[in-house]
A and B are shown apart, each in its own frame.
Chain A
Amino acid sequence: MSRSLSLVAYLAVAASVALPLSQAIAEKAAPKATKAVATPTAPPPMPVKLGLGRPALPEEIHAWDTDVRPDGLGLPPGKGTAKEGDALFQERCSTCHGEFGEGVGRYPVLSGGLGTLKADRPDKTIGSYWPDATTVYDYIRRAMPFGNARSLTADEAYALTAYLLNMNDVIKDPDFELNQNTLAKVKMPNAAGFYGDDRDTSEKQFWNKAPCMKDCGPAPKVIGRAIAVDVTPDEKAGPKVD
């Protein structure tokens, strides 16, 4: 408490340089400065329209708004088949992702892994894990190839999406035309594999009014040591954060 009082006194002295004495005294009487630190205040009230910014033009929205939703909203005109995508994939993608999407080194595996989600080491790929085919298109067009994003045409993105869905046996026919109408209708194997955050109910035991403080069970033993792992698991066994 003495600390906060001395801070108030310091502020009062500092304020007295610029403020009339009466105000400096008022400052001293009401320790506002320290209170502001402890209690964040609500945003200041403000008019709804500030007259800042300008309307976006249709060309500008068209240039940036490339996102695609699972219902197909945002898919551009265009088309492509797995057969067309194959050549493109070998040229633009296989250096990192392998010829069939099997992955090179630590780069992401894009195919395979079906039925491994309950395994000790799940293989989460487009085919085994991703719920929506539209995400493949959105992500390729947004961020791939790594290091040369936004270099693919709408048709090329359809062809590459078709190739990857074909490598994952989601599209069996290499001549099937993926386009604005057909992509959103593609059903992914793991489409039903996700549910909303349920921690409030499934982990409600973690809310505990009186956690144990004294004599809480038997003396513990060490069962694992980071030093034994030596910080360097081999590259396939190591955890991924990509």
Chain B
Amino acid sequence: MSQKPPSDILDRRRFLGAAGLAGAGVLLPLAAKAGEAAKPDPAITEVQDWNRYLGDGVDKKPYGVPSKFEKDVIRRDVSWLTASPESSVNFTPLHAIDGIITPSGVCFERHHGGVAEINPAEHRLMINGLVDTPMVFTMDDIKRMPRVNKVYFLECAANSGMEWRGAQLNGCQFTHGMIHNVMYTGVPLKVLLEQAGLKPNAKWLMLEGADSAGMNRSLPVAKALDDVLIAFAMNGEALRPENGYPLRAVIPGWQGNLWVKWLRRIEAGDQPWQAREETSKYTDLMPDGRARKYTFVMDAKSVITNPSPQAPLKFKGRNVLSGVAWSGRGTVKRVDVTMDGGRNWREARIDGPVLDKSLVRFYVDFDWNGQELMLQSRAIDETGYVQPTKAELRKVRGVNSIYHNNGIQTWLVHPDGVTENVEIA
């Protein structure tokens, strides 16, 4: 791609510009102009094609896809972020989805050596190192073990990382879209480890992928025995290739890089490996020139997905503010929303399941009279952790730590409904 903004953003700006020129008509309810006789709506009075002609038969789409009118609800990438698309990231269209489950086809991707295409019949999982018996498992072996179903968020450690120095990308897809939340089906890692028998001095595990990046990370045994899963399914079907087919690690609440995809080997050891992905990368540089390492947990965070720059306000009067919140430390207890940049807050309504280390969906139903809004959301988790402002984070960490930016996001809503990513003070 070129050095230009994604074309959809340009298109949107053009659209918004045109809407602005068209005047307040966009913002007024249909047929509400005083003194005008209401005109019949041709969408009702004329017979539509779909009302007259036959639609597709059941043999047309053995595996369905979204309506063509939803063609913009897609993953997007920002080409200048990385040197190559095979070691890069794309973004979940958070502004265009609802509820808490991310559709598999738009779950963001992060690869370090492209998508490995693996024949599951040839996939093996090895467990070796400080174990009684090094073991090899086939996918068939793993699918014969007791399994569990869990909904968890997976957030890239670098989610919002481009925003450390200030507002940069215009849309929650880009500022917060390195996240997805799906239901995993898999086997507790504990069960697999029991087959090999961990030796008492095994304190760390190394997870390794089968892809060309050979992704490897060190994981404390205590976490592995607590809630880590080895998953083969997401949202009821096999993992997608880009999400680790046929097997991946699920490390609830912890940074996405640890969730090794195309998992082929687990080694037990008595100390961490200091792999590239936990020294050069995924270490957080602090103002004194030293860096935090093993910053595993993703702290409480939230973002308003609607309105947002890609989903501006279109109507005066009744509106729905919507967003997602999550915490790697447990469940989200509360989400507060402000419309005046943090001077006054109200508690949002959380709707849908509230699960451990999962997204929750929140709403504020509100009336808008066209005034400027400074929207923010603030998540509070079950440990009492309150999502901080970006200024509060920078005070501790400076602006070069790259990862773990969970600062409060501000959207500025203009009187014409256009919404932009801003920093306020």
Interface class of chain A by DSSP = loop
B315 in the interface (beta carbon within 8 A)? no
How far in angstroms is the closest Cβ of chain A from B343?
Answer: 5
Task: Say yes or no: A239-B81 contact (C-beta < 8 A), given A211-B380, A220-B342.
Answer: yes
Q: B170 touching A226 by the CB < 8 A rule?
A: yes
Cβ of A26 within 8 Å of any chain B Cβ, yes or no, is no
Given A150-B214, A207-B384, A220-B341, output 10 extra A-B contacts at Cβ < 8 Å: A54-B136, A68-B273, A106-B83, A143-B213, A146-B87, A206-B386, A219-B343, A224-B166, A226-B309, A239-B161
Residues of the B chain whose Cβ atoms lie less than 8 Å from the Cβ of A193: 289-291
| Docked-complex contact B356 and A40, CB < 8 angstroms | yes
B353 within 8 A of A: yes
Check A135 against B274 for contact (C-beta < 8 Å).
yes
Segment at the interface with A among B22-30, B54-62, B65-73, B294-302:
B294-302
A106 and B136 contact, Cβ closer than 8 Å, known pairs A211-B386, A230-B5:
no
Beta-carbon contact of A194 and B292 below 8 Å: yes
Partner of B81, one of A48, A107, A220, A238: A238
Q: Which residues of A contact B380 (CB under 8 A)?
A: 211
Q: Does B363 contact A (CB under 8 A)?
A: no
A196 in contact with B293 (CB, 8 Å) = yes
Q: Is A77 an interface residue (CB 8 A)?
A: no
A132-B274 in contact given A53-B141, A107-B83, A241-B161 (Cβ < 8 Å): yes
Contact status B343-A67, CB under 8 Å: no
**B89 adjacent to A235 (CB under 8 Å):** no
**Beta-carbon contacts of A45-85 to B below 8 Å, as 1s and 0s?**
01011101111100011001101111101000000000000
A-B pairs with beta carbons under 8 A, tally: 282
**Bound-state Cα–Cα, A120 to B306, Å:** 35
Q: For residue A110, give the distance in angstroms from its CB to the closest CB of chain B.
A: 10
Q: Does A149 contact B (CB under 8 A)?
A: yes
Tell me whether B195 and A49 are in contact (CB under 8 A).
Answer: yes
Question: For chain B residues 234-264, which have a beta carbon within 8 Å of chain A?
Answer: 264
Instruction: Kindly state the separation between the CA atoms of A129 and B318 in the bound complex, as whole angstroms.
Output: 53
Does A153 sit within 8 A of B, measured CB to CB? no
- Cβ of B345 within 8 Å of any chain A Cβ, yes or no, is yes
Q: How far is the CA of A240 from the CA of B167 in the complex (A)?
A: 16
B112 touches A143 (CB 8 A): yes
Measured between alpha carbons, how far is A151 from B288 in the docked complex, in Å? 39
Question: Which residues on A sit within 8 Å (CB–CB) of B144?
Answer: 50, 52
Interface segment among A6-14, A15-23, A165-173, A197-205: the answer is A197-205
B3 at the interface (CB under 8 A from A): yes
**Cβ-defined contact, A53 with B279, below 8 A:** no
> CA A50 – CA B164 in complex, angstroms?
49
Across the interface, which residues of A come within 8 angstroms of B276, CB to CB? Answer: 135, 138-139, 143
Let me know if A217 and B170 touch, CB within 8 A.
Answer: no
CA distance A194 to B295 in the complex (A): 11
Q: CA of A46 to CA of B193 in the docked complex: distance in angstroms?
A: 13
Among B129, B206, B294, B344, the residue within 8 A (CB) of A215 is B344
A209 at the B interface (CB under 8 A): yes
Are B274's CB and A213's CB within 8 A? no
B222 proximal to A (CB < 8 A): no
